[in-house]
Structure 1
Amino acid sequence: MERIKITQHTSLGAFWFAGWLFSIGYLHLNFWMGLLGLFVWPYFIGVHLAPPLS
């Protein structure tokens, strides 16, 4: 019988959420800009941390 290992990455999600809240507060964004930042912020973090294409 195979064993199934379940891994939770809640600390990474909490770090992302804390960074998102910090960004909203630091930039003094209103509600709608903060909501937009919910979708845009992870994209820019991903682009920044991705390895170069060439």
Structure 2
Amino acid sequence: MSERKISIEQHSGIGLAWIGGWLFSIGYLELGFWQGLLGLLVWPYFMGTHFVPAG
């Protein structure tokens, strides 16, 4: 039998940062419930297009 090394990684910090940024954005912009819900869907797209290098 060969021994295999199993590695488990958690990246929950990135998800928590995303949620924190989203909640901060809603509070800072003083958005209502429906605008905040729309922001939940649209905000990651705009963040992705901003941070991906043009190419």
* Structure 2: runs of 5 or more not aligned: none
Aligned runs of 1:3-22 on 2, under 5 Å?
Answer: 3-22=5-24
- Runs of 4 or more above 2 Å deviation: none
Gaps of 5+ in 1: none
Bigger Rg, which one? 2
CA RMSD in angstroms, aligned pairs only? 0.8
Measured against aligned partners, the alpha-carbon deviations of 1:11-45 in whole angstroms (never above 9, x if no partner) come to 11110000000000011100011001111001111
Query: What is residue 26 of structure 2 aligned with on the other side?
Result: 24
Scaled by the length of structure 1, the TM-score of the pair is 0.90
TM-score by length of 2: 0.89
Percent identity over the alignment?
Answer: 58
